Structure 1
Amino acid sequence: MSLIIPQDYTEFLHWVKERTEAFWNADSDENSSEFVCDDWVRGAKWIGMTDEEIEAVETKHQIKFTDHHKKFLKILHTIDRKQTIFDGTLNEKGLLVPKEVSLFYNWYAEEEEITQHLNKPFNLLEEEVVNNTVWLDSWGEKPESNEDKQHIFSTWFNNAPKLIPINLNTFAISEPTNTDNPILLVHGRNTIIKGGNIKHYLLQELDADLGLLEYVYDETDEGWYEEPKEELTAIYDAEYDALKTKEIPYWKEFLLTNGFNDYLVKGC
């Protein structure tokens, strides 16, 4: 069966833009799909960035996007809607405080959140090191003092490719800049690979919006379940096979502390 998902990366990004916007802007009464978009994203449009804007962001935050990440930012970047969530934060009266979050970070308008998340991986992982839940073989013998452990970790982290926030706890590995690097979901020592690359990540993040899921009836459970269509499953399988031998400077050793099967999220 021929794939409807473009193989060329630039063509793929334009395909994502056109397909998702069509889904978000479809009249619910005329939508023939089994899946309907959430109210908060209805009518949404993507907001791309110019080359000059991307360069300004890199200079301001002292980061470097990969070539693939730059193409993502130019064609997609973020959408002109935010979702209201409740993350457990309480106000002085003990009531849940609503929080607006973007589908993907807006490098124009969310400077404070982005700055916090640029520092988040270091803070989370340093805490794990100090609490003795993470120690890599390449760091040598573990010292007794927290100060020495922090120094060894800081040296390693500062030499490792930077992690650039995409969405909440999701980060792109910034080096090498000429390759399409894995996307990480950072949760301290439980950090995992969310996608083998940006394309793989977007297919998982937007699978329903792209029309790549279908309902399948399970006779044993007597219920309907969402499953990826055949063409999406084929891409998933190829990406996971490629990841087994893919070079991931610095971060692969960290990910392997939990074992390959634990650090890889499949089809989530």
Structure 2
Amino acid sequence: MRMHWRAEHQILIDAGVTIAPGLTEAELDRAERVIGARFPPDLRSFLSEGLPTGERFPDWRAPGSPEVRRRLDWPFDGIAFDIEHNAFWLDAWGARPSELPEALQIARTLVAEAPRLIPIAGHRYLPAEPALAGNPVFSVYQTDIIAYGNDLAAYLRCEFRRLPYVDAVREGMRRIPFWSELVDANQ
């Protein structure tokens, strides 16, 4: 696990992001309790060294805020939108029910059973599981879900230096149950 994030925080500062003092262990624990998921160790380390602030970033000092809740709900809400309006359905989910409420309930169950996606910036998310450093970062916009970095550090370097996201994605990226299937569907 990375021990220092000075370079990544400096990249954010150079991109115009304000970095507040890092979260304390108590603040990290509280945020995890409120959202019902543990932050992977690399995210905990990153946030403890400095907290990016501004409208693109979740305010982890207010984890129960409506804005953080909206960001946490965003992945399912986008999938639900595409199921309802774009007839989205993966074969791996079984036969699509003819009734929309039933289809949405299946999707809701699948998302609830999948690793929780933790908002990082905008519509970029880091899976909470496995509880290891090195999970990929996903860009999540409805069912247009793509890998945006093999890990948190690669994502931050590319996103905030405005490099092509493909520079942050390499072969051998960790597969994440459910979410990697959606990434595969977009290739």
The TM-score with structure 2 as length reference comes to 0.85
The residue type paired with residue 147 of structure 2 is: I
**How far apart are residue 45 of structure 1 and its match?**
4.0
Q: 1:253 to 1:53 in 2, by over 3 A?
A: same
Q: Which residue of 2 aligns with 1:253?
A: 181
Residue 152 of structure 2 is aligned to residue 159 of structure 1: no
Pairing partner for 1:65 from 24, 35, 39: 39
The residue type paired with residue 108 of structure 1 is: R
Pairing partner for 2:154 from 200, 216, 219: 200
Q: 1:45 to 1:120 in 2, by over 3 A?
A: closer
**How far apart are residue 161 of structure 1 and its match?**
0.5
Pairing partner for 1:124 from 66, 78, 90: 78
Question: Which ranges in structure 1 are unaligned for 5 or more consecutive residues?
Answer: 1-7, 25-36, 83-100, 209-226, 260-268
Pairing partner for 2:136 from 172, 182, 207: 182
The residue type paired with residue 236 of structure 1 is: D
- Distance across 2 between alignment mates of 1:171 and 1:250: 14
Q: Are 1:49 and 1:75, in contact at CA under 8 Å, matched by a contact in 2?
A: yes
**How far apart are residue 132 of structure 1 and its match?**
4.5
Pairing partner for 1:55 from 5, 29, 33: 29
Runs of 4+, deviation exceeding 6 Å: none
What RMSD over aligned residues (CA atoms) do the two structures have, in Å? Answer: 2.6
Structure with the higher fraction of residues in helix conformation: 2
Higher RCO structure, 1 or 2 (CA under 8 Å, sep 6+):
2
Q: Which residue of 2 aligns with 1:34?
A: none
**How far apart are residue 46 of structure 1 and its match?**
3.8
- Distance across 1 between alignment mates of 2:86 and 2:62: 37
- Distance across 1 between alignment mates of 2:11 and 2:158: 13
Q: 1:122 to 1:128 in 2, by over 3 A?
A: same
**How far apart are residue 163 of structure 1 and its match?**
0.9
Partner-residue secondary structure (3-state), 1:131: helix
Greater displacement, 131-140 / 143-152: 131-140
**How far apart are residue 203 of structure 1 and its match?**
0.4
Partner-residue secondary structure (3-state), 1:10: coil
**How far apart are residue 20 of structure 1 and its match?**
4.3
Q: Any idea what the Cα deviations from partners look like across 1:109-153, whole Å, max 9, x if unmatched?
A: 472211111111111111212235321122111221112211211
Quick one: percent identity of the two aligned structures?
25
Residue 164 of structure 2 is aligned to residue 236 of structure 1: no
The TM-score with structure 1 as length reference comes to 0.62
Q: Are 1:133 and 1:189, in contact at CA under 8 Å, matched by a contact in 2?
A: no
- Residues 131-150 of structure 1 aligned to structure 2 (within 5 Å): 131-150=85-104
- Distance across 2 between alignment mates of 1:155 and 1:106: 27
Partner-residue secondary structure (3-state), 1:9: coil
The residue type paired with residue 9 of structure 1 is: R
Q: Any idea what the Cα deviations from partners look like across 1:210-247, whole Å, max 9, x if unmatched?
A: xxxxxxxxxxxxxxxxx78xxxx9x937x41223xx32
- Distance across 1 between alignment mates of 2:149 and 2:90: 23
- Distance across 2 between alignment mates of 1:65 and 1:207: 24
Partner-residue secondary structure (3-state), 1:206: helix
Structure with the higher fraction of residues in strand conformation: 1
Q: Any idea what the Cα deviations from partners look like across 1:7-27, whole Å, max 9, x if unmatched?
A: x7223x13333x448x75xxx
Between the two proteins, the alignment pairs up a number of residues equal to 186
- Distance across 1 between alignment mates of 2:87 and 2:183: 13
Q: Which residue of 1 aligns with 2:50?
A: 76
